[in-house]
């Protein structure tokens, strides 16, 4: 399925010494063109200076539980996104390519260079023209970079950037030319000494180059630029120097004219063309015409160049295609791009999405994932307070492929709120949280830890801007340290004074995490109207919806621990909650809470007390005490909820209500009735090997 690309530590050091020796023997003054790169191709070049994390999904338990995975590389801007791509895919890279982040021409051929033996498969990073961005320098230090190949002249990347690199003991090689065409020619001839084939793209637009860049880089085929109407002399000279005989034009005649094709033909080249009527159709034509490894697909916006440019090196490592998508989901939905994804989705095991949600929004991501703008989401609370082993066991109970029935896993990794609003891990260190996030993701789910708080300490945090800031910082740290896919906030037993604070908290979290491609979610108590539950006024559904991706509504506890006995979440109650919710929240953002627990009540004094159990324990209890399970039905709920009465071992008369496959199914019918975004099931801790075959196939049926 996925191949492991981890080389031995000894291999890295052997190649490092070889590459260092070659560079020292051919060291040029900074700013001069680095030539004769092909001389470095020796037997040792089969190793790479760009040691990277392989596309390997760790397997836990039954290997058939492993399914498709989706990853997003994103930062607050294009520079951070390129760093994110690098940091999550390269362990070390002794050589790195550096390009200007706000202009594309000099960088379009950069992927071919980065993936060549000259650079050895290092990443392509971006920086500002006048300064080296600090996060880029830090990434180079992490990679233990020795040499940087700068693309373009000092007008593209200044001497100040070059000098800062040198000051940090990094050797600099600049590849430039008199113009963009000569620069691309010099990049290509540095990366590729001889080639019978070349790709030719417009030097005045970026989209067509991005479509072909990963294939060119993976196959060592030079990528050259041309003026749309006239073939530059530098380009023709490069073709001659590399011994090219076949030229493939990328894009229609508006990008590379028939006149350019005629010039090439007259010069003795065999010419063909890959094109469509626009950038997206050209992208599809390229993917349909060339042989790509469909194990992984890289997805980037077709409206700007930086993310796809950095991502093309990632795609080149295993000859994966780059799919360009529009920004508007309606333009995407019925497009040839969507059709291409639909036709190939079964073959793909991993989708890598480049850029934050401001670049590729969650609706576009949904189309990539499922072919639908608003697919149903099955969010499952992994467990409330489980340990590592229990979390592992809960996944083992899931029948079939986990990602068929669960899309988002929500573990509780955070400790209690502190007086200053901050929180730490519920475990002794970040090690177990990181492991659990990786474990859930390895099964194809996104993992979004929850942070819980209640009462006075939560009120104090929500009503104090400084404490809210501490909470946000703790949440961002948790997400970053564990590589989680977002955060879910669950604040309960709040005062009315907390309404504005809860909305402000979600806004602050959204502004921090959403640009990084992270999900921001909140759980709220259930309301049936604006006035029916005044004790829940702190949950302003409409305002919270502005700063969250999904709102999970806890539409359970109609009957609760100290109430009189009754169904936990009867259909008529859940329907009433959802009917109000869709007037305040876009329906596709609503996750309907579904309980997996039941209760058994007895009287105590003048009131009631109860204890909880899951479906399996409920049926076992009924059998143990010889109780007959009946169904509590109403005119609006003909399916009903299982219930029974019994006398327990201590002589107490008890009444039990719980859910089973039929009553869960009746609630899931509401997904269609209200066009909801999905469910939020509380919690997997109540599901075991007996009840799992009842629940998870039902979720698979209703979520797809």
DSSP states of 178-213: SSHHHHHHHHHHHH-S--SEEEEEESS-SHHHHHHH
Instruction: Residue 9: count other Cβ atoms within 10 Å of its Cβ.
Output: 11
Sheet with 147-151, edge to edge strand ranges: 124-127, 95-100, 147-151, 171-175
Instruction: Residue 557: count other Cβ atoms within 10 Å of its Cβ.
Output: 17
Residues shown for the chain: 704
Are the CB atoms for 312 and 213 separated by under 8 Å?
A: yes
Residue 50: what pLDDT?
64
Q: Could you give the C-alpha distances from 666 to 574, 594, 670, in angstroms and in order?
A: 10, 11, 7
Residue 13: what pLDDT?
33
> How far apart are the C-alpha atoms of 166 and 169, rounded to whole Å?
5
> How far apart are the C-alpha atoms of 165 and 162, rounded to whole Å?
5
pLDDT digits (tens, 9 = 90+) for 530-555: 999 999 999 999 999 999 999 999 99
Per DSSP, 412 falls in state B
377-596+666-703: CATH class = alpha beta
CB contact set of 692 (below 8 Å; sequence gap of 6+): 397, 398, 399
Q: What's the number of CA atoms in the CB half-sphere (13 Å) around residue 375?
A: 23
Q: What's the number of CA atoms in the CB half-sphere (13 Å) around residue 549?
A: 27
Token output for 197: 């084939």
> How far apart are the C-alpha atoms of 236 and 246, rounded to whole Å?
12
pLDDT digits (tens, 9 = 90+) for 336-376: 999 999 999 999 999 999 998 789 987 898 899 889 887 89
Q: Give the three-class secondary structure for 577.
A: helix
Q: Please compute Rg for the chain using Cα positions.
A: 29
> How far apart are the C-alpha atoms of 221 and 197, rounded to whole Å?
6
> How far apart are the C-alpha atoms of 545 and 677, rounded to whole Å?
13
DSSP characters for 423-461?
--BSSSSSHHHHHHHHHHHHTT-EE--EEEEEHHHHHHH
CA 170 to chain centre: 32
Residue 699: what pLDDT?
96
CB contact set of 252 (below 8 Å; sequence gap of 6+): 275, 276, 277, 282
Residue 1: what pLDDT?
23
| Beta-ladder partners of 22 | none
Quick check: bond before 683 cis, omega within 30? yes
> How far apart are the C-alpha atoms of 93 and 149, rounded to whole Å?
12
Residue 356: what pLDDT?
84
DSSP characters for 92-104?
EESEEEEEESS--
β pairing state of 246-250 and 95-100: unpaired
- For the chain, residues classed under CATH 3.20.20.80 are 377-596+666-703
> How far apart are the C-alpha atoms of 277 and 286, rounded to whole Å?
13
Token output for 579: 């009917």
Q: Could you give the C-alpha distances from 219 to 107, 269, 481, in angstroms and in order?
A: 18, 20, 36
Q: Is 408 exposed, middle or buried (0-12, 13-18, 19+ CB in 10 A)?
A: buried
CB contact set of 198 (below 8 Å; sequence gap of 6+): 188, 221, 222, 223, 224, 239, 242, 244, 246, 247, 248
Residue 31: what pLDDT?
31
Q: What's the number of CA atoms in the CB half-sphere (13 Å) around residue 481?
A: 16
Q: How does the average pLDDT of the chain come out, rounded?
A: 89
The closest alpha carbon to 521, from 413, 447, 583, belongs to 447
The closest alpha carbon to 15, from 36, 41, 39, belongs to 41
Residue 52: what pLDDT?
62
Residue 103 phi/psi, 5° resolution? -155, 135
The closest alpha carbon to 599, from 615, 619, 613, 617, belongs to 613
The closest alpha carbon to 296, from 337, 348, 344, belongs to 348
The closest alpha carbon to 5, from 116, 111, 92, 95, belongs to 92
> How far apart are the C-alpha atoms of 267 and 93, rounded to whole Å?
40
pTM: 0.74
> How far apart are the C-alpha atoms of 225 and 411, rounded to whole Å?
50
Instruction: Residue 511: count other Cβ atoms within 10 Å of its Cβ.
Output: 12
β pairing state of 50-52 and 90-93: antiparallel
- Mean pLDDT per segment of 10 residues, for the chain of length 704 residues? 26 33 32 31 37 41 48 90 96 97 90 95 96 98 98 96 97 96 97 97 95 97 97 97 98 97 98 97 97 97 94 96 94 95 94 89 88 90 93 95 93 97 96 95 91 96 97 97 95 92 97 91 97 93 97 95 97 97 97 98 96 96 98 95 97 97 97 96 96 96 86
Q: Is 94 exposed, middle or buried (0-12, 13-18, 19+ CB in 10 A)?
A: buried
The helix (run of H) or strand (run of E) holding residue 623 is helix 615-624
């Amino acid at each position: 399925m996925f191949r492991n690309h981890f080389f031995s530590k000894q291999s890295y050091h052997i190649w490092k010494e070889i590459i260092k020796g070659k560079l020292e023997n051919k060291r040029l003054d900074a700013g001069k063109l680095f030539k004769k790169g092909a001389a470095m191709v020796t037997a040792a070049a089969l190793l790479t200076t760009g040691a990277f994390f392989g596309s390997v999904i760790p397997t836990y338990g039954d290997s058939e539980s492993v399914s498709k995975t989706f990853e997003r590389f994103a930062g607050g801007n294009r520079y951070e996104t390129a760093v994110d791509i690098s940091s999550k895919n390269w362990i070390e890279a002794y050589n790195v390519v550096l390009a200007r982040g706000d202009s594309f021409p000099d960088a379009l051929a950069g992927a071919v260079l980065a993936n060549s033996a000259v650079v050895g498969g290092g990443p392509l990073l971006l920086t500002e023209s006048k300064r080296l961005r600090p996060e880029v320098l830090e990434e180079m230090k992490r990679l233990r970079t020795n040499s940087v190949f700068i693309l373009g002249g000092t007008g593209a990347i200044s001497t100040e950037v070059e000098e800062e690199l040198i000051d940090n003991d990094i050797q600099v090689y600049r590849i430039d030319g008199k113009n963009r065409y000569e620069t691309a020619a010099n990049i290509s001839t540095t990366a590729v000494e001889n080639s019978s084939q070349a790709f030719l793209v417009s030097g005045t637009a970026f989209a067509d180059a991005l479509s072909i860049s990963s294939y060119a880089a993976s196959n060592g085929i030079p990528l050259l630029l041309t003026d749309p109407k006239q073939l530059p002399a530098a380009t023709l000279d490069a073709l001659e120097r590399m011994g090219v005989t076949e030229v493939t034009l990328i894009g229609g005649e508006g990008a590379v004219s028939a006149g350019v094709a005629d010039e090439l033909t007259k010069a003795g080249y065999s010419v063909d063309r890959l094109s469509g009527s626009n950038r997206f159709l050209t992208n599809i034509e390229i993917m349909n015409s060339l042989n790509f490894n469909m194990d992984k697909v890289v997805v980037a916006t077709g409206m700007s160049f930086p993310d796809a440019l950095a991502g093309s090196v990632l795609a080149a490592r295993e000859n994966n295609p780059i799919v360009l998508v529009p920004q508007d989901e309606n333009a995407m939905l019925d497009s040839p791009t969507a059709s291409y994804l639909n036709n190939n989705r079964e073959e793909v095991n991993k989708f890598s999405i480049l850029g934050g949600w401001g670049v590729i929004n969650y609706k576009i991501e949904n189309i990539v994932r499922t072919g639908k703008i608003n697919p149903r989401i099955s969010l499952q609370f992994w467990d409330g307070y489980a340990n590592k082993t229990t979390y592992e066991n809960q996944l083992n109970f899931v029948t079939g492929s986990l990602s068929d029935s669960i899309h988002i896993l929500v573990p509780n990794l955070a400790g209690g709120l502190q007086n200053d609003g901050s929180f730490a891990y519920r475990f002794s260190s970040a090690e177990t949280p990181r492991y659990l996030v990786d474990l859930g993701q390895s099964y194809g789910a996104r993992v979004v830890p929850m942070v819980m708080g209640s009462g006075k300490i939560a009120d104090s945090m929500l009503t104090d801007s400084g404490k809210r800031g501490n909470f946000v910082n703790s949440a961002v740290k948790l997400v970053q340290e564990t590589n989680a896919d977002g955060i879910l906030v669950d604040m309960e037993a709040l005062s009315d004074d907390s309404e504005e604070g809860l909305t402000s908290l979600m806004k602050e979290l959204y502004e921090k995490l959403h640009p990084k491609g992270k999900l921001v979610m909140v759980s709220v108590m259930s309301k049936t109207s604006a006035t029916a539950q005044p004790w829940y006024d702190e949950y302003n559904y409409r305002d919270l919806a502005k700063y969250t991706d999904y709102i999970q509504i806890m539409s359970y506890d109609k009957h609760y621990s100290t109430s009189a006995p009754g169904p936990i979440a009867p259909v008529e109650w859940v329907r009433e909650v959802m009917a109000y919710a869709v007037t305040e929240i876009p329906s596709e953002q609503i996750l309907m809470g579904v309980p997996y627990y039941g209760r058994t009540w007895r009287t105590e004094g003048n009131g009631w007390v109860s204890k909880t159990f899951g479906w399996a324990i409920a049926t076992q209890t009924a059998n143990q005490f010889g109780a007959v399970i009946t169904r509590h039905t109403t005119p609006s709920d003909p399916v009903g909820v299982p219930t029974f009465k019994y006398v327990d071992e201590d002589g107490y008369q008890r009444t039990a209500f719980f859910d089973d496959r039929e009553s869960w199914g009746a609630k899931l019918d509401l997904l269609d009735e209200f066009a909801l975004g999905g469910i939020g099931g509380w919690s997997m801790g109540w599901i075991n090997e007996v009840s799992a075959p009842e629940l998870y196939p039902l979720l698979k049926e209703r979520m797809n």
